[in-house]
Amino acid sequence: MDHGPQADLSSLEPLTFSAAGFRQRNVFPTPLLVAPVNDAAALNERLRPAILARAARERGAGEDGWRSADDFASWSGPAGAALLEAATRLANGFTALRTPDGAALEGVLNWRSNAWASVSGADHAGQPAYHPGAFWSGVYWVDAGDEAPAGKGAGPGGEFEMHDPRGILPGFSAPQLRMAIPGCLSAGLTDYEAPRTGTMLVFPSWLVHGARRYSGIRPRISVGFTLSA
């Protein structure tokens, strides 16, 4: 079939791109809120003994360490209530209300929360999980145990681990390749956040997450929670 005269491209210079019009967008981002809590020391002074006492009474620890039932709010007292109220306020600051056609709505959500306490020791790990039916999930480290020194090696492990929600297909097709784009270096892989005493993480409940194996000596104490509308 005759497509007509063809342009002769053999003499063209290498093509370039418009510096003024060029944009880089990292699409489908997954938010991770990393929020150090003010006055965490006073809060943790109340939470730590309450959680350890509960763990001692229940005397249950498996591969993931000890975890309470989802009844943290019923026995953690004013300190637990203050923690969950802070988590709710943080979530409200990053949640928009919309009508079915996308118009903005005024108001604040009345979240329903579930929360539990956990204690991890040496060789404990958290299996990958997600939380159907909730919108936000989070963790607060009452005591991170043996923390990794900032910028000084791997530390004792136990990092909070997040799996790329788009799956690992890039690794299947070309495992030797990585995207040379800031913010996309972990695409198709996992990313991590080191536990820090007094810090709260909040993330979408559909994000698959876990904890890498912990090799520290001091117990690592945390509170996990979900928020649903």
d(CA 174, CA 187): 12
In a domain, 109, yes or no: yes
Give the range of the structural domain holding residue 58, as residue numbers without chain letter.
33-228
**Residue 200 pLDDT exceeds 90:** yes
CATH number at residue 73: 2.60.120.620
In a domain, 222, yes or no: yes
- pTM reported for the whole predicted model: 0.86
In a domain, 119, yes or no: yes
d(CA 55, CA 67): 8
In a domain, 22, yes or no: no
In a domain, 192, yes or no: yes
Token pair belonging to 203: 């993330």
Return the HEC string of 209-227: EEECCECCCCCEEEEEEEE
Least confident of 140-149, 157-166, 182-191, 213-222: 182-191
In a domain, 7, yes or no: no
Mind listing the pLDDT tens digit for each residue in 118-154? 999 999 999 999 999 999 999 999 999 998 766 556 6
Number of domains in the chain: 1
d(CA 63, CA 149): 26
- Residues 206/31, Cβ–Cβ less than 8 Å: no
Query: Which DSSP string do the residues of 69-122 spell out, in sequence order?
Result: -S-HHHHSHHHHHHHHHHHHHHHHTT---B-TTS-B--S----EEEEEEEEE-T
In a domain, 20, yes or no: no
For residue 153, what pLDDT is reported?
A: 60
In a domain, 21, yes or no: no
d(CA 206, CA 131): 6
Mind listing the pLDDT tens digit for each residue in 40-69? 999 999 999 999 999 999 876 566 789 999
Q: How far apart are the first and last CA of the chain?
A: 61
- The confidence band for 225, taking pLDDT boundaries of 50, 70 and 90, is very high
- Residues 225/114, Cβ–Cβ less than 8 Å: yes
